[in-house]
Amino acid sequence: MAADAVDEATLRDLIPGILAALVHRGADFATAEDAVQEALIRAVETWPNQRPDDPKGWLITTAWRRFVDLARSDTARHRREQRVSNEPPPGPTASADDTLQLYFLCAHPSLTPASAVALTLRAVGGLTTRQIAQAYLVPEATMAQRISRAKRTVSDVRLDRPGDLRTVLRVLYLVFNEGYSGDVDLAAEAIRLARQLAATTDDPEVAGLLALFLLHHARRPARTRADGSLVPLADQDRSLWRRDLITEGVAVLQAALARDRLGEYQAQAAIAALHADAPTADEIDWVQIVEWYDELVGFTDNPVVRLNRAVAVGEADGPQAGLAALAELDPMLPRYTASAAYLHERAGEVATAAELYVQAAAQAQTLAERNHLTLRAATLRHRLSGEGG
Amino acid sequence: MAKYLFLKHYRGAPAAVNDVPMDRWTPAEIEAHMQYMEDFAARLRDSGEFVDSQALASEGAWVRFDGEGKPPVTDGPFAETKDLIAGFMIIDVDSYERAVELAGELSAAPGAGGKPIHEWLEVRPFMGAPTTVTE
């Protein structure tokens, strides 16, 4: 690394280990987390001038000293003051297991999803409160409060027993999927954290989640036009897809599938991989995609999965089959009407499709989606009036 | 500086001059409209007058307290006759005149036939904070 620049991502890769080391040495999680944040800020300020030979050791020492100061200044923690000294006591360094425990703690079931996301991004991801606030479009004071309440909520959780990996995966999925804009690339951050998690555990679902992220992230350059409007999967310029991420995602997925412990994230990644495999939109293996959706329905009886399955059935067996599958679902589901419009369009029922696209636009939950659906309605109407005149 | 809220209505505003629903426009007209809106917000960001802009979904409900220990009462979806806000923009400008000038520009966004919509926008001043110097 260049001496004149601090690679922020590399620096942040060290965070869970530093925090785990402090907790391992007896620091309480909440104070240790503050101390690590401050050490991180010191690093960004001072390393461009003088980079330590042992960055991790430097961070542990700096964070520990800061922890001591914080603990001392807190009179309510008088007794701890007796125990801590200026230098880190000798002891085992934090292991990969300690890092894993931090992931569990930050995704603890007692936290709301929004709190778990914020705490994970700060304590494991090493992002500042301001960065997280900007990413989620809330005032910094609001995010600071959310994080400090979350820290209080988990302050009594013991770190010595295994947590639930499902909750950790769900938190990372939320970080990846909420594509808000801002200085921080949340999708890239979720991938970084998933990689780190995959390095500390051998659960095939962690690999499945990482593969899912990589395969979807690969499409990002093709997903929106320069003006921010959405490009549907079928219309995306596949030459813009990032082959490096696809290759990696497929490899990670294949290794996970080979272990024969299938789960929902592997199934989702398999669907994404089948899309990535097809050289053109016309060559997608929809029959296999439907099979994977059937697997997925077995893992998670999520109605949105059933909706996507109905659209896939429409591609595999024709739009009428898709509409029949759709008819079994609740019409109040988000994107139900949009899916119906698409299937009717595929069936050549242009007038019906146009009418449904108008309704779907009124129900859309994002502006980009509403614009896209309105545009579809207008395009079909235009085609109809052209045929009529 | 003073803040103003521009309110755009799905329903309840006086009819626009060029009042054609968007799904009856040509695709090119829709794209031109979106571009105009985006350029408008970008210009305000550049001039340091932009605060926020959000679109609202067309569905929602009335909600009120219904007494201790009871869940709140909801009444929805909204009746067809209800005045319905579609979205808002908040600006921070030097004068009321500037706010009106900008609302006029926003209302000139192109619609059907590529012609301005002449949509009515509601312009509402924010209540300010008390000033330090009072006399």
Q: Say what the ipTM of the complex is.
A: 0.83
Which residues in chain A have their CB less than 8 angstroms from residue B25's CB? 378
**A190 contacts chain B (CB < 8 A):** no
Residue A159 has pLDDT above 80, yes or no: no
Collapse the DSSP code of B124 into the 3-class scheme (helix H, G, I; strand E, B; otherwise coil) and give the result. strand
> Could you say which of A123, A156, A185 is where a domain stops?
A185
Q: What is the pLDDT of residue B76?
A: 86
First to last CA, chain A: 66
Q: What is the pLDDT of residue A87?
A: 47
* DSSP-derived pairing of the beta strands B2-11 and B122-125: antiparallel
Give the residue numbers spanning the domain of A172.
96-185
- Summarize pLDDT for A173-214 with one digit per residue, the tens: 999 987 666 668 899 999 999 999 999 888 999 999 999 999
In a domain, A17, yes or no: yes
In a domain, B81, yes or no: yes
Residues A271-297, buried b or exposed e (16+ Cβ, 10 A)? bbbbbbeeeeeeebebeebbbbbebbb
Same domain? For A100 and A137 the reply is yes
Mean pLDDT of A231-235: 89
Same domain? For A123 and A84 the reply is no
Give the residue numbers spanning the domain of B104.
2-125
User: Which CATH number goes with the domain that contains A176?
Assistant: 1.10.10.10
In a domain, A239, yes or no: no
Chain-chain contact of A381 with B24 (C-beta, under 8 angstroms): yes
Same domain? For A23 and A62 the reply is yes
Spatial CB neighbours of A196, under 8 Å, sequence gap ≥ 6: A13, A16, A99, A124
Which residues in chain B have their CB less than 8 angstroms from residue A361's CB? 23
In a domain, A300, yes or no: no
The pair of structure tokens assigned to B97 is: 């005149």
In a domain, B76, yes or no: yes
Give the nearest chain A residue to B58 (CA atoms). A362
- Summarize pLDDT for A344-357 with one digit per residue, the tens: 999 999 999 999 99
Asked whether A265 and A291 are in contact (CB, 8 A), the reply is: no
Chain-chain contact of B31 with A381 (C-beta, under 8 angstroms): no
Same domain? For A101 and A176 the reply is yes
Angle at Cα A316 formed by Cα A310 and Cα A321, nearest 5°?
A: 50
In a domain, B133, yes or no: no
In a domain, B80, yes or no: yes
Interface test with B, best of A138, A225, A229 (most B CBs within 10 A): A229
Give the nearest chain A residue to B86 (CA atoms). A362
CB atoms closer than 10 angstroms to residue A65 = 17
Residue A51 has pLDDT above 90, yes or no: no
Number of domain units in chain B? 1
Q: What is the pLDDT of residue A164?
A: 85
In a domain, A364, yes or no: no
DSSP A183: S
Q: What is the pLDDT of residue A389?
A: 47
* DSSP-derived pairing of the beta strands B50-55 and B73-75: unpaired
Average pLDDT over chain A, rounded to whole?
A: 88
Same domain? For A117 and A44 the reply is no
> Could you say which of A137, A153, A185 is where a domain stops?
A185
Q: How far apart are CA B6 and CA B44, in angstroms?
A: 13
Which residues in chain A have their CB less than 8 angstroms from residue B35's CB? 227
Residues A152-170, buried b or exposed e (16+ Cβ, 10 A)? ebbeebebeeebebebbbb
pTM (2 d.p.): 0.85
Which residues in chain A have their CB less than 8 angstroms from residue B31's CB? 227, 375
User: Residue ranges of chain B with pLDDT lower than 50?
Assistant: none
> Could you say which of A65, A94, A123 is where a domain stops?
A94
Q: What is the pLDDT of residue B27?
A: 92
Mean pLDDT of A30-49: 90
Helix, strand, coil shares, percent, chain A, to 5: 70, 0, 30
Name the pLDDT band for A319 (thresholds 50, 70, 90).
Answer: very high
- Summarize pLDDT for A244-291 with one digit per residue, the tens: 999 999 999 999 999 999 999 999 999 999 999 999 999 999 999 999
In a domain, B131, yes or no: no
- Summarize pLDDT for A117-150 with one digit per residue, the tens: 999 999 999 999 999 998 888 899 999 999 999 9
When CB atoms are compared, the residue of B23, B58, B59 closest to A377 is B23
**B25 contacts chain A (CB < 8 A):** yes
Q: How far apart are CA B131 and CA A201, in angstroms?
A: 59
Q: What is the pLDDT of residue A90?
A: 47
**A128 contacts chain B (CB < 8 A):** no
Number of domain units in chain A? 2
Q: How far apart are CA B57 and CA B60, in angstroms?
A: 8
